[in-house]
Structure 1
Amino acid sequence: MSSVSAGNAAKALEFKNSGNVCIKEQNFPQAVEFYSKAIELDDRQSIYLSNRAFAHLKLDNFQSALEDCDKSLELDPKNIKGYHRRGLAYVGLLQFNKARNDLRIVLKAKPNEPTALRALDMCEKFVRAERFKKAISGSDSEDKVNVCATLNLSSFDAYNDIKKYSGPKLEIEQLKDENGNPAGARVTNMSQEFVSSLVNDVFLKAINLPKQYAAAIISHAERLFREEPAVVELNNVRMPEQQISVCGDTHGQFYDVLNIFQKFGKVTENHTYLFNGDFVDRGSWSCEVAFLFYCLKILHPKKIFLNRGNHETDNMNKIYGFEDECKHKYSPRIFDMFSKSFESLPLATVINSKYLVMHGGLSSDSSVTLEDFKKIERFSQPPREGPFMELLWSDPQVADGLGPSQRGLGYAFGPDVTAKFLSDNNLAKIFRSHEVRMSGVEFEHNKKLVTVFSAPNYCDAQGNLGGVIHVVPGQGTIGRNGNDDEDLIIDTFEAVKHPDIKPMAYSNGGLGF
């Protein structure tokens, strides 16, 4: 920290005020830029750092937020906002004991601060749950019973919701194992008529499925996911009439998902869809999105595919709203079934032996190959390090080599890392998602990597377009939306109207601020 001229201090204050305006306009990337300029000119101001930390929190850059808060509190140990934002950064980094310490400091100064109260309550629940798990299992690696594969339909007989339900009817078969014990459910009459009625007569009228129906759908879909490999392989090279459409994050934005199908076509024998993770959390129709995808999976098991994202995990669902939404609309048991089904989702997809599609990014270990991805034991919550986690969490960076992740999980990997992996594995491009791109689709790393994000006007705030990548061998449109590949068509779309329900409307989690 050095002395600052009066001129630089005044200019820094202007940049800080411009950052505050960007926060009000929910333009968080621009806010980070303005606060950074302020800090470059005047690094003595604790508030500049804690303000930038807030913008980083809004961008899920939890590690960067944590570092800013540490520096902010070094400058001013009484900066309550610094403690508050550091506590939320620890929540995002899943370090709940550390989060509790900071949040308690906040609540000592401001006993009724609502976001701190919610975050502390959630941290207490996490810590208690972890202690309980260790107490009954003796370790952190307790295997959960597969509640999808052991589902007993008769356990839902006490519910009256099915008697009151007037929507489309499902016929469900109780599966049993060789000993006659309940072994999940199979839907026997899934049809396009059911799916259409489910959308129009149930979900668009804000009606929930009967819990027995919900459980049967999840159980059936989970079994289909479990039978797929860790890396799915799709191919339409010799079938030019068959299109494969790759979509990125949809985050519970049900009305925008419906718009994707309306705009680009439904799932059919000639139209395959791959949704590349993060279809739940944030948006307040995550249940509807998940049930729609699962019903389509049952109806067209070889024509719709779901890669796992970092939000198809328990910790993210607790923080970002899906668990609370699921419990509000259905029950804790239905959430537990969704959780188990997420553990069965594939981690990546290869299209035409040419394009690798995964949610996050590449491994930090340069020796890891596509064959290693195929060998990952995926039926669990992801670890905090290694290729499994990095496929869900890592992001590209402009510079070559590896860098620290602003999120605090995974790594940032450069164009040289991408080029080497593609060359070593005889691939042409990587498709990934995981980050908002204002244009919906963005070509990066010398056009060897493409980020596709399919939640337009993300969280009703970002103003971004949604994007879709269509794989159409020999029929692509070069030059459109940055495309340089004759086998691809890049489409974008705007957000559509939806009922006035805010993102994370059901969330009691710590990051609903």
Structure 2
Amino acid sequence: MKQQAEDAKEAANLAFKKQDYGQAIDLYTKAIQILPSAVYYANRSITYLRTECVGYALTDASKAIELDKSYVKGYYRRAAAYMSMGKFKQALKDFETVVNARPNDKDAKIKFNECSKIVRKLAFEKAINVDDGKKSVSETLEGTLDSIVVEESYAGPKLEDGKVTQNFILSLMEFYKSQKILHRKYAYKILIDVKKYLTQQPTLVDVTIPDDREFTVCGDIHGQFYDLMNIFKINGLPSETNPYLFNGDFVDRGSFSVECIFVLFSYKLLYPNHFFMARGNHESSNMNQMYGFDGEVKAKYNAQLAELFTEVYNWLPLCHCLNNRVLVSKVGM
């Protein structure tokens, strides 16, 4: 039995290296069923993290610790799961256990210090927080967008009468292929208009698809702009006769998250009843700080726009029901 379990684990490790995480999970599960061990649970935990099934990852890491309280990787995996869930105090406690057990582990020290900074920052913000009726970014910008000057040197796409058009989006995508930045005036306008629309939408959106029509559902884009362009090349551009649903995780990790989200939001404004977007676990302030989107927005624009993105994300629907039969939502949330 021990050899059978080890064989299953080794096969799972190979699948993991090939990034075939579904196969790896199945094989780790087989090893656990044959002979449960802390190692197998910890390995399946990191695999679940890679697929962003954070709840399962947390459960497996905790099970690894239960089976062997001295197994350091169990604490490391559980800390990573807690971080992904935004439970920084719990993560810090586990990272501290890892650092104490392995004082020379550089990666553990880096993760511990990062987590410690977040915990201190949150504690400080809580201590000084005062409900002073502060306006949201969108409220602050209300009525002031016209005062933002578009420089004569700007040669990029422009909204037509303040509206998104098909020509605007086509120009925007070509502009982004040249790795140029949309003017902040239009960036602000798109986000404010998207927020206004989303505030009127339900959490669960019902979508009706005619029997003779196709409907494209896309998973995580994660800032891969050229992958997004390839999707449109293969499946056609969004339109009233070619509807799409992008099911969350538009940003983070990739280097072109800003470009991806503005193309998607532009299509949402152009075809509100034929282009759908759901909120994923990466459409949140904490995840954006950890996985790169927050820094990207600040580098390409400013902190105010990063805050406005968070306001917009808070209004995104969480799920869609297709023809009263198929529920589409983010399992990683």
TM-score (norm 1): 0.56
**Distance in 1 of aligned mates of 2:241 and 2:20:** 40
Q: Which residue matches 1:149?
A: 139
Give 1:332 shift: 2.2
Please say if residues 83 and 102 of structure 1, whose CA atoms lie closer than 8 Å, have aligned partners that are also in contact. yes
How many equivalent residue pairs?
328
| 1:169 aligns to 2:158 (yes or no) | yes
Please say if residues 248 and 433 of structure 1, whose CA atoms lie closer than 8 Å, have aligned partners that are also in contact. no
Q: Which runs of 5+ in 1 are unaligned?
A: 1-7, 172-186, 356-426, 437-513
Given the alignment, which residue of 199, 213, 219 partners 2:192? 219
| 1:23 aligns to 2:16 (yes or no) | yes
Given the alignment, which residue of 245, 253, 256 partners 2:215? 245
**Distance in 2 of aligned mates of 1:81 and 1:113:** 14
Distance change in 2, residues 1:79/1:257 (3 Å)? same
Give 1:339 shift: 0.9
**CA offsets 1:287-317 (integer angstroms, 9 cap, x no match):** 2121002222333444433233333222333
| 1:38 aligns to 2:31 (yes or no) | yes
Please say if residues 50 and 82 of structure 1, whose CA atoms lie closer than 8 Å, have aligned partners that are also in contact. yes
Query: Which amino acid in structure 1 is aligned with residue 181 of structure 2?
Result: N
Give 1:47 shift: 2.7
**Distance in 2 of aligned mates of 1:122 and 1:144:** 29
Give 1:144 shift: 7.0
Task: Report the secondary structure of 1:224's partner residue.
Answer: helix
Give 1:22 shift: 1.9
Give 1:117 shift: 4.6
Provide the aligned C-alpha RMSD in A: 3.4
Given the alignment, which residue of 240, 259, 265 partners 1:288? 259
Given the alignment, which residue of 285, 296, 320 partners 1:314? 285
Distance change in 2, residues 1:118/1:332 (3 Å)? farther
Distance change in 2, residues 1:11/1:271 (3 Å)? closer
Give 1:125 shift: 4.3
**Distance in 2 of aligned mates of 1:318 and 1:23:** 27
Distance change in 2, residues 1:133/1:271 (3 Å)? same
Query: Which amino acid in structure 2 is aligned with residue 10 of structure 1?
Result: Q
> Once the two structures are aligned, what percentage of the paired residues are identical?
34
**Distance in 2 of aligned mates of 1:284 and 1:144:** 32
Give 1:99 shift: 0.6
Please say if residues 278 and 329 of structure 2, whose CA atoms lie closer than 8 Å, have aligned partners that are also in contact. no
Query: Which amino acid in structure 2 is aligned with residue 53 of structure 1?
Result: S
Q: Show the 5 A alignment for 1:390-429.
A: 427=324, 429=325
**CA offsets 1:382-406 (integer angstroms, 9 cap, x no match):** xxxxxxxxxxxxxxxxxxxxxxxxx
Query: Which amino acid in structure 2 is aligned with residue 221 of structure 1?
Result: V
Please say if residues 318 and 329 of structure 2, whose CA atoms lie closer than 8 Å, have aligned partners that are also in contact. no
Query: Which amino acid in structure 2 is aligned with residue 255 of structure 1?
Result: Y
Q: Which residue matches 1:204?
A: 177
Given the alignment, which residue of 65, 86, 91 partners 2:83? 91
**CA offsets 1:242-276 (integer angstroms, 9 cap, x no match):** x5734232323333332333333333344443433
Q: Which runs of 5+ in 2 are unaligned?
A: none
| 1:325 aligns to 2:292 (yes or no) | no
**Distance in 2 of aligned mates of 1:168 and 1:58:** 37
**Distance in 1 of aligned mates of 2:202 and 2:30:** 48
**CA offsets 1:463-507 (integer angstroms, 9 cap, x no match):** xxxxxxxxxxxxxxxxxxxxxxxxxxxxxxxxxxxxxxxxxxxxx
The structure with the largest helix share of the pair is 2
Query: Which amino acid in structure 2 is aligned with residue 198 of structure 1?
Result: L
Q: Which residue matches 1:488?
A: none
| 1:188 aligns to 2:162 (yes or no) | yes
TM-score (norm 2): 0.81
Q: Show the 5 A alignment for 1:340-419.
A: 340-349=311-320, 355=323
**Distance in 1 of aligned mates of 2:285 and 2:66:** 34
Given the alignment, which residue of 434, 452, 456 partners 2:330? 434
Task: Report the secondary structure of 2:138's partner residue.
Answer: coil
Q: Which residue matches 2:6?
A: 13
Q: Which residue matches 1:3?
A: none
Give 1:85 shift: 1.2
**Distance in 2 of aligned mates of 1:301 and 1:39:** 47
Query: Which amino acid in structure 1 is aligned with residue 168 of structure 2?
Result: F
Give 1:214 shift: 1.7
Task: Report the secondary structure of 2:193's partner residue.
Answer: helix
Give 1:156 shift: 6.2
| 1:81 aligns to 2:51 (yes or no) | no
